[in-house]
């Protein structure tokens, strides 16, 4: 349990947010949820869940919400094509460029590259790289890349799950290339961060930890299952930790998973940079997830992760935006996460809608089973 001294030392007085409004120009269209399909008999089609409205609210709540005095704004930038090659293959990057020249295409289910999408993806990648460089250059300890389209499903050679370029993966590689010896990734998006994991699957320099809904593979673009036995390979064996959680795990279950699995793993690994990959689609009201986190849960996760950064990475923490598709509640959950990172003594915002009765009995059993498996299979847990 953190002491008062730990809490005081983990306090940060502001967060550097990196953003560029050009990312709003990625138009994902309308249809039945994320299919882009119009069956012809519905009067009202919905926006694709990964639409610009969700991010507009994230920007506005940070600019006009009670957290605004703690936010410093920085302008994002386009990534250069050569920068993409630190994570992605030349063939895949060329595929994106050609698709853009031809007016766009559906790269995989739900993932539409339309006119303006590639520039938005390049802005997301470049903005995340600028956020990491800001930390590496000593200009700040905590930076948040507020970006879209998201990236953690994008693999070195293919798009997946609304993602074109792996923003976090590019930033992690930049940290390694800039002298960081070990980078820890904590992904709390409701879906498995398969692209980020895949990019470092053979590396013992990057510990990828993903807490996600137990959704399994969803097709050719996402062959990974996110199961506990996907542990890495070669030198990277044991450095990919999947924590698939049952639907409805909730605040208490997530915090239990952090305390029992995530915190000990980070302590054993000893990173000199931490990357928190956030998605508010783990919330109680998200159309794309069923995990039932509320603002309280996100706030505590932010506090725990910032405490880990204080103890292990000299306070250096990069936060990268991924999913979160409830247009209003995602913004509130983001606000709560950053409140936790700031280690504020009292919540700045009350939760406007959350009420969901929690029973952590089953999630605790699942987490304990994962812990037994990890202790048996993961060398990191046996040697430290």
User: Per residue in 284-313, pLDDT tens?
Assistant: 999 999 999 999 999 999 999 999 999 999
Say if residue 380 is exposed, middle or buried (CB neighbours under 10 Å; 0-12, 13-18, 19+): middle
Residues composing the chain: 384
Q: Is it the case that residue 2 has pLDDT exceeding 70?
A: no
| CA quadruple 220, 222, 228, 229: dihedral sign | positive
Q: Is it the case that residue 47 has pLDDT exceeding 80?
A: yes
- What letter would DSSP give residue 79? P
What does the mean pLDDT of the chain come to? 95
153 is catalytic: yes
Q: Residue 101 in 3-state DSSP?
A: helix
Top-confidence residue, 358 or 32: 32
Q: Is it the case that residue 273 has pLDDT exceeding 90?
A: yes
* Cβ contact 85:93 at 8 Å: yes
Please report which confidence band the pLDDT of residue 384 belongs to, taking 50, 70 and 90 as the band edges. low
Taking residues 19-32, report their average pLDDT: 98
Q: Which pLDDT value is given to residue 10? A: 57
Say if residue 189 is exposed, middle or buried (CB neighbours under 10 Å; 0-12, 13-18, 19+): buried
pTM of the complete model:
0.96
Among the listed residues 338, 360, 271, 275, the one whose alpha carbon sits nearest the alpha carbon of residue 311: 271
- What letter would DSSP give residue 235? G
Taking residues 89-116, report their average pLDDT: 97
Q: What is the pLDDT of residues 317-374, one digit of tens each?
A: 999 999 999 999 999 999 999 999 999 999 999 999 987 788 889 999 999 999 999 9
- What letter would DSSP give residue 221? T
Say if residue 346 is exposed, middle or buried (CB neighbours under 10 Å; 0-12, 13-18, 19+): exposed
Q: Which pLDDT value is given to residue 11? A: 67
Please report which confidence band the pLDDT of residue 126 belongs to, taking 50, 70 and 90 as the band edges. very high
Q: Which pLDDT value is given to residue 360? A: 84
Q: What is the pLDDT of residues 197-240, one digit of tens each?
A: 999 999 999 999 999 999 988 889 998 899 999 999 999 999 99
Q: Is it the case that residue 382 has pLDDT exceeding 90?
A: no
Angle separating helix axes 361-377 and 250-257, nearest 10 degrees: 20
Q: Residue 138 in 3-state DSSP?
A: coil
Rounded Cα distance, 146 and 227, in Å: 28
Q: Is it the case that residue 265 has pLDDT exceeding 60?
A: yes
Please report which confidence band the pLDDT of residue 41 belongs to, taking 50, 70 and 90 as the band edges. very high
Percentage of the chain beyond pLDDT 90 is 92
Q: Which of 152, 153, 312, 326 is catalytic?
A: 153
Q: Which pLDDT value is given to residue 358? A: 82
């Amino acid at each position: 349990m953190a002491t008062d001294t730990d809490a005081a030392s983990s306090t940060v007085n502001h967060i550097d947010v990196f953003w560029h409004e050009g990312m709003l120009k990625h138009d994902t269209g309308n249809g039945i949820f994320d299919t882009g399909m119009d069956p012809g008999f519905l009067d009202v089609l919905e926006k694709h869940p990964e639409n610009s409205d969700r991010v507009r609210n994230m920007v506005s709540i940070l600019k006009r919400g009670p957290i605004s005095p703690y936010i410093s704004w920085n302008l994002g930038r386009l990534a250069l094509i050569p920068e993409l090659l630190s994570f992605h293959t030349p063939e895949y990057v060329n595929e994106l460029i050609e698709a853009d020249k031809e007016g766009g295409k559906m790269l995989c289910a739900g993932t539409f590259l339309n006119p303006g999408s590639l520039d938005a993806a390049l802005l997301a990648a470049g903005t995340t790289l600028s956020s990491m460089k800001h930390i590496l250059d000593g200009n700040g300890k905590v930076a948040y890349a507020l970006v879209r389209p998201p990236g953690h499903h994008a693999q070195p050679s293919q798009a997946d799950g609304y993602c074109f370029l792996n923003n976090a993966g590019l930033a992690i590689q930049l940290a390694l290339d800039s002298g960081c010896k070990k980078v820890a990734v904590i992904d709390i998006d409701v879906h498995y961060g398969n692209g980020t994991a895949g990019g470092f699957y053979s590396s013992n320099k990057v510990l990828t930890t993903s807490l996600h809904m137990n959704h399994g593979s969803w097709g050719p673009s996402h062959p990974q299952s996110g199961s506990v036995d996907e542990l890495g390979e070669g030198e990277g064996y044991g450095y990919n930790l999947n924590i698939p959680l049952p639907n409805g795990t909730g605040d208490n279950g997530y915090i239990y998973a952090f305390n029992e699995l995530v915190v000990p793993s980070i302590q054993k690994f000893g990173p000199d940079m931490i990357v928190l990959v956030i998605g508010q689609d783990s919330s109680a009201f998200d159309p794309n997830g069923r995990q039932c986190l509320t603002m309280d849960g996100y706030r505590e996760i932010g506090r725990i992760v910032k405490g880990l950064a204080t103890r292990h990475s000299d306070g250096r923490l990069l936060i990268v935006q991924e999913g979160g598709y409830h247009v209003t509640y995602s913004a509130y959950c983001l606000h709560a996460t950053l409140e936790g990172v700031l280690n504020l003594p009292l919540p700045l915002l009350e939760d406007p809608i959350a009420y969901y009765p929690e029973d952590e009995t089953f999630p605790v059993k699942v987490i304990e089973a994962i812990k037994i498996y990890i202790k048996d299979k993961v060398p990191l847990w046996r040697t430290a």
